[in-house]
Amino acid sequence: SAIAGTAGSFGGGHLVALTGTGFSRLQGHTKVFVGGAPCIVNSSSVTRVECFTPARVLPVGNATNTTVAVNVSVLQEAAVGEASWQSERCELPQSQACVYTYSLALTPRVVGSFPPVAVSGSLLNLTGSGFVPDAAQMRVSVGGVPCGVLQSTPSQLTCTLGDNAAGSYPVTVTALGVGRALGNATVTHDLAISTLTPSHGSWA
């Protein structure tokens, strides 16, 4: 009967909610598709489903938006025989179109990171565009490990690196309310030894 979050980033990762009836509360029994691609279900009840939008290729030419259909499939239990999937096109009141719009205006971008090599606990600075000027509304992870956001402006983020083994890792930036940023920034975690215990022992 309604969709909360009808537009977001081409990078995907935007949490949208569908309300209605007939969904399944069982994990894996309700599937949502945005533009034909799976919208990863985060939670599901009989009346509400939340999912993270898939990424989508950028439009060509001068287009700035891509609008796609939203569809839902529910695994229906059967009194006799095997359960089967029932696919339904999403329908809204007053003949509103059940669609989602990918928008360049709502797509953050990451264009750089500094320093390129750092250790856990260091500050990481990211530059780009489309960031939310509220640190609480931004999420950063490096190799899947959270990088705690300290400051955020529309074009710069500062976060504290978490613990990772030495190596090179991709940086993922998400703005709550629109989704993931585009970009291919990476950070290399350096090996650092801070203590040695015990510091002495026998010659033998």
Q: What is the 3-state secondary structure (H, E, C) of the chain?
A: CEEECCEECCCCCCEEEEECCCCCCCCCCEEEEECCEEEEEEEECCCEEEEECCCCCCCCCCCCEEEEEEEEEEEECCCCCCCEEEEEECCCHHHCCCEEEEEHHHCCEEEEEECCEECCCCEEEEEEECCCCCHHHEEEEECCEECEEEEECCCEEEEECCCCCCEEEEEEEEECCCEECECCCEEEECCCCCCCCCCCCCCC
Residue 91 has pLDDT above 90, yes or no: no
What pLDDT, on a 0 to 100 scale, did the predictor assign at position 90? 64
Top mean-pLDDT range of 52-66, 72-86, 185-199: 52-66
- The band of 193, judged by pLDDT with boundaries at 50, 70 and 90, is confident
Per-residue pLDDT, averaged over 14-32, amounts to: 89
Residue 78 has pLDDT above 70, yes or no: no
What pLDDT, on a 0 to 100 scale, did the predictor assign at position 100? 92
Which pLDDT tens digit goes with each residue over 52-61? 999 999 998 8
Residue 142 has pLDDT above 60, yes or no: yes
Residue 80 has pLDDT above 80, yes or no: no
What pLDDT, on a 0 to 100 scale, did the predictor assign at position 148? 97
| Global pTM value | 0.86
